[in-house]
């Protein structure tokens, strides 16, 4: 199963013929993907499920229908177990960016995190996962595939938001502040966090 986000609405791709009753299921062979994306953007569809019995064909379908943009980023922690966030477009996010031609994905993750935040002395950790989301540029829908890595740094110098990328703030956040930030973040970013943060996020929303 895969989740591909259009804004904060997930399109579920799976080999299961039916999932939750609230989802509208489209067979992969007949779905008009761009039409579905437009309906999601207009608020006419909220729960979308694309089905094919062969799971190997799910991503191949997406990659055929949408131009793929490869990106990479990191969840950076320090010795205080704080997490590094950026603030852009009125949302808290994790640093990431497009992979350049002939650049390895791990190297692009390190470069983008440093460029967007000013953090130094980064150490690359384990690969976390990939996230998928659809965006529109110059009238065309594209699929961004972001490769996420754990990272570590004890840098305690000045953080420098990359203004040319629209980043207004860069902050280290402890557990409580991370939970609060996740209430103003993106659905695909929340997927990267363990359940304890999501539980804390729910508590912040109630408060």
Residue at a domain's end among 45, 65, 85? 65
* Residues 37 and 79 placed together within one structural domain of the fold: no
* Residues 79 and 169 placed together within one structural domain of the fold: yes
* Residues 59 and 74 placed together within one structural domain of the fold: no
Number of domains into which the chain is organized: 2
* Residues 187 and 138 placed together within one structural domain of the fold: yes
* Residues 61 and 73 placed together within one structural domain of the fold: no
**What pLDDT does 157 receive?**
95
**What pLDDT does 171 receive?**
98
How do the pLDDT tens digits run along the chain, 207 residues long? 999 999 999 999 999 988 888 999 999 999 999 999 999 999 999 999 999 999 999 999 999 999 999 999 999 999 999 999 999 999 999 999 999 999 999 999 999 999 999 999 999 999 999 999 999 998 899 999 999 999 999 999 999 999 999 999 999 999 999 999 999 999 999 999 988 887 755 555 544
**Which two three-digit tokens encode residue 102?**
């002939």
Closest CA to 124 of 91, 75, 164, 166: 75
Range of the domain at 96: 68-206
Closest CA to 123 of 176, 165, 162, 78: 78
* Residues 22 and 52 placed together within one structural domain of the fold: yes
* Residues 42 and 139 placed together within one structural domain of the fold: no
**HEC letters along 103-158:** CCHHHHHHHHHHHHHCCCCCEEEEEEEEEEEEEEECCEEEEEEEEEEEEECCCCCC
* Separation of alpha carbons 203 and 207, rounded Å: 6
Cα end-to-end span (Å), the chain: 33
* Residues 129 and 48 placed together within one structural domain of the fold: no
| Number of neighbouring beta carbons within 10 Å of residue 22 | 8
CATH of residue 97's domain is 3.90.79.10
* Residues 100 and 144 placed together within one structural domain of the fold: yes
Residue position matching structure tokens 């912040």: 204
* Residues 30 and 105 placed together within one structural domain of the fold: no
């Amino acid at each position: 199963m895969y989740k591909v986000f259009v804004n904060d609405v997930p399109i579920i791709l799976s080999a299961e013929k039916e999932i939750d009753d609230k989802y509208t299921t489209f067979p992969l062979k007949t779905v008009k993907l761009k039409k579905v994306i437009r309906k999601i953007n207009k608020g006419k569809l909220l729960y979308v499920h694309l089905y094919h019995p062969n799971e190997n064909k799910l991503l191949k379908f997406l990659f055929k229908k949408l131009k793929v943009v490869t990106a990479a980023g990191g969840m950076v922690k320090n010795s205080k177990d704080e997490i590094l966030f950026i603030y852009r477009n009125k949302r808290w996010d994790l640093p990431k960016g497009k992979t350049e031609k002939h650049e390895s994905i791990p190297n692009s993750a390190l470069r983008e995190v440093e460029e967007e935040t000013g953090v130094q002395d980064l150490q690359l950790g384990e690969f976390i996962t990939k996230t998928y989301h659809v965006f529109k540029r110059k009238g065309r829908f594209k699929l961004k595939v972001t490769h996420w890595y754990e990272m570590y740094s004890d840098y305690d110098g000045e953080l420098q938001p990359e203004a040319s990328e629209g980043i207004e703030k860069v902050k280290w956040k402890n557990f409580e502040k991370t939970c609060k930030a996740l209430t103003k973040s993106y659905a695909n970013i929340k997927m990267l966090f363990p359940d304890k943060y999501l539980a804390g996020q729910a508590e912040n929303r109630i408060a």
